[in-house]
Amino acid sequence: MPNSFGHLFRITTWGESHGPGIGAVIDGCPPLLPITAEEIQAELDRRRPGQSDITTPRKEADTVEILSGVYEGKTTGTPIGLFVRNTDQRSSAYSEMKQAFRPSHADFTYQSKFGVRDPNGGGRSSARETIGRVAAGAFAKKILALAYGVEIRAFVSSIHRLRMPAMEDFPTLAQVEATAVRCPDPKTAEAMIEVIKKARSEGDSVGGIIECRIRNVPVGLGEPVFDRLEADLAKAMLSLPATKGFEIGSGFGGTLLKGSEHNDLFENREGQVRTVTNRSGGVQGGISNGEEIRFNVAFKPTATILQPQQTVDLQGQPTELMGKGRHDPCVVPRAVVIVEAMAALVLLDHAMRQTAQNRAFEFPQK
């Protein structure tokens, strides 16, 4: 169903921008995982509005409550209910928007699809919905780390026309979190922050690209032919608001190479089958090969801008709309933790599927 994601580690999110709050249910979480609300909160704090001077000034604590499925600090294997209450809502900011469709927002399509919509803050189409993903992703991330030592690191690699230089090393969390823009290259980060501030001062917005790298992924995750690991990652990323593209490994650039240049040769490195290069991006034939998973996600510039824009009203009449509300001039830095959460949800689900089909039974072989 549309508000659920995953097969075995399955999350369902609910709630609207200006309703009582945002919820998520995790079904299928393995039991006996030690987890605290603080650990989930740490992830939520990375997507929280008002966290720095380049995000929306809205102030929401986004405090998570665990309502079920955890007993004496450990998961019980039963569904986990998570809830984050909405606190700083100003519906009045949206009164005009009730009557007209905001350009490049979901107002028109929601209205057309359902015949009705909650206009306050975009209702269900608001990016506040991703709170549930991040909260649930915290469980997945911790399980992957405990079980395999998986590390998932997303970061901002480009903002508008600024692109950070290629980084060979796996960035540390500290490097990513060092600046408000979450680009691990300090010099580029500084310039990016200026670009974002300038856009805001002009009532405009910018987009960018998030790169995600994942290491210590076990070989064998991914379920061809349809549920390839990269297919599920692509779906996960394109299910995020404002995303317009996904590429893994060599991506679109790989089309510029010949086969003899693109192929990842195999070698035996310290007793392991490894590839010499990693243009595959850690996935071959839809299945993880143990190399670092690397993918990029394109985010368009924020649709809400503080400039008058031509549009039509509910009756289809031409009108003009002036962006209001308190919005991010660039959503990309806050989306880093969301990308990580979605990646974790995909990987854990596939790890559980792999276990179920391919590790559960050992048959006697002649």
8 A C-beta contact, residue 36 and residue 142:
no
Residues 270-289 interacting with its own copies (rule: CB under 8 A): 271-273, 275-276, 279-281, 284-289
Question: Is there binding between residue 95 and its own copies (CB under 8 A)?
Answer: no
Q: Cα(348)–Cα(343) distance, rounded to whole angstroms?
A: 9
- Smallest distance from its own copies to CB 88, Å: 18
- Smallest distance from its own copies to CB 26, Å: 9
Q: Which is nearer to its own copies, 53 or 261 (CB)?
A: 261
Q: Which is nearer to its own copies, 50 or 220 (CB)?
A: 220
Question: Is there binding between residue 365 and its own copies (CB under 8 A)?
Answer: yes
Residue type, 9: F
Q: Tokens 């299945």: give the residue.
A: 287
With contacts defined by CB under 8 A, how many residues of the chain interact with its own copies? 162
Q: Which is nearer to its own copies, 166 or 174 (CB)?
A: 166
Among 140, 311, 341, 344, binds its own copies (CB under 8 A): 311
Question: Is there binding between residue 307 and its own copies (CB under 8 A)?
Answer: yes
Tokens for 250, please give them.
């060599």
Residues 5-34 interacting with its own copies (rule: CB under 8 A): 5, 7-8, 10, 12-16, 19-21, 23, 25, 27-34
Closest CA to 205 of 130, 60, 307: 307
Tokens for 246, please give them.
């996904």
Q: Cα(329)–Cα(304) distance, rounded to whole angstroms?
A: 8
Q: Cα(100)–Cα(313) distance, rounded to whole angstroms?
A: 4
CA 331 remoteness from chain centre: 11
Among 49, 121, 123, 184, binds its own copies (CB under 8 A): 123
Residues 182-221 interacting with its own copies (rule: CB under 8 A): 199, 204-209, 219-220
Q: Cα(3)–Cα(14) distance, rounded to whole angstroms?
A: 7
Query: What's the longest Cα–Cα distance across the chain?
Result: 77
Among 189, 217, 237, 293, binds its own copies (CB under 8 A): 237
Strand partners, 225: none
Q: How far is CA 91 from CA 14, 52, 131, in A?
A: 19, 23, 19
- Smallest distance from its own copies to CB 254, Å: 5
Among 223, 293, 333, 343, binds its own copies (CB under 8 A): 223
Closest CA to 293 of 182, 209, 216: 216
Question: Is there binding between residue 300 and its own copies (CB under 8 A)?
Answer: yes
- Region binding its own copies by CB under 8 A among candidate stretches 44-52, 172-180, 184-192, 345-353: 345-353
Residues 129-158 interacting with its own copies (rule: CB under 8 A): 129, 143, 146-147, 158
Residues 50-89 interacting with its own copies (rule: CB under 8 A): 65, 67-69, 71, 74, 76-81
Q: Cα(194)–Cα(172) distance, rounded to whole angstroms?
A: 23
